[in-house]
Amino acid sequence: MTTLHHTSVNLPENVREELVRLLNRRVGLFTDLYVQTKLAHWNVRGPHFIAYHELFDSIASHLLVAQDSMAERAAALGGQAGMTVQAVAEESGLGQWPIETRQDSAVIHLVGDRLARAAGQIRQDIDTAANLGDADTADLFTEVSRQLDQDLWFVEAHYTE
């Protein structure tokens, strides 16, 4: 059970607790996704280096904005925001980034895979928040989903068929 701080947000305490847990899981996911995207940014090599390097940096900045928004929503609901790095490693579900992978064509697919997985989770979260009666958190997840989909589109535009 999560201990909530006092707030006048008029959602039932049990709903706020569930939303805070969900939001913090996604803060953790986005922490991991950010680090992995920066690893891709720093280590990518190949003929498409500069395009990928700049794209990954742009995506990383979007991830930080989303992470911050979700953490602040958890705090606004009366919860503790965020999680430790150790908890992130245990809970993110993305798996460890294969740091030895540097070839641009492989790295772009790894980033795309992780963005797609995060986007799928966020889409489920939209429904969860809506079913809990919190349109504001559902709207936040919708905003995050839109940005993830756009970033995924930019990544997938680099795939060769």
Lowest-confidence segment of 2-11, 76-85, 99-108, 144-153 by average pLDDT: 2-11
Domains and CATH numbers, the chain: 13-156 (1.20.1260.10)
pLDDT, tens digit, 9 for 90 and up, residues 91-106: 889 999 999 999 999 9
Position 79, amino acid: G
13, 61 Cβ separation under 8 angstroms: no
The tokens for 112 are 């795309």
Predicted local confidence at residue 141, as pLDDT: 98
27, 71 Cβ separation under 8 angstroms: yes
Predicted local confidence at residue 2, as pLDDT: 58
Predicted local confidence at residue 161, as pLDDT: 59
Q: Count the Cβ atoms, other than its own, within 10 Å of residue 12.
A: 10
Predicted local confidence at residue 1, as pLDDT: 47
Residue 92 or residue 161, greater confidence = 92
